[in-house]
Amino acid sequence: MRDKNSKNKPYKNRTFFDSFRYAYQGVCTVFQEERNMRFHVLTTIVVLLVSLFLSLSISEWLWIFLVCFLVIVMEIWNTVIENTIDMFSPDYHPLAKKIKDMAAAAVLFTSIFSVVVGAIILLPKVLVFFHLY
Ligand SMILES: Nc1ncnc2c1ncn2[C@@H]1O[C@H](COP(=O)(O)OP(=O)(O)OP(=O)(O)O)[C@@H](O)[C@H]1O
């Protein structure tokens, strides 16, 4: 078996910059191919912009950053799983369905968690901002 760190491997990352470049390509791929990812990124930008006007505390900022990036990371993993399934099981298979459905369920739960955290932190401040409470 070939050594994972073999110098002869043609596709081995040579520098820290190489690793960063391929990770960036990965992000671009998910962004281009997954509509949900574009929605998550747009939502993240909106939430961060709204948060700027609401004078959040440090811990509130940390929670907002945590949930925004958690959803994006989960969507990347979901896409990794979908692509892996498509590579190894391009035809219909009940296990492929189970795996993809569970990966989607993980994104769903993370999204629900994010909405709950966002509502707890932002909703009262938005209401006060617009003099509705
Ligand atoms: N090879 C397969 N065998 C069985 N069912 C599959 C298979 N591929 C996809 N499915 C079913 O179709 C659904 C959608 O799969 P698809 O790969 O299109 O994901 P998607 O719609 O791109 O998901 P997402 O919106 O999370 O990106 C899966 O959740 C699964 O129920």
Flag whether 18 is marked binding: no
The answer to whether 75 is a known catalytic residue is yes
Task: Check pocket membership of 29 for ligand 1, CB cut-off 6 A.
Answer: no
Q: Is 78 exposed, middle or buried (0-12, 13-18, 19+ CB in 10 A)?
A: buried
What amino acid occupies position 79? T
From 75, 78, 118, 121, the catalytic residue: 75
Question: What domains does the chain contain, in order, with CATH numbers?
Answer: 16-129 (1.10.287.3610)
Q: What is the pTM of this model?
A: 0.87
Q: What is the pLDDT along the chain (133 residues), one digit of tens a residue?
A: 455 555 567 677 778 888 899 999 999 999 999 999 999 999 999 999 999 999 899 999 999 999 999 999 999 999 999 999 999 999 999 999 999 999 999 999 999 999 999 999 999 999 988 888 7
Task: Check pocket membership of 3 for ligand 1, CB cut-off 6 A.
Answer: no
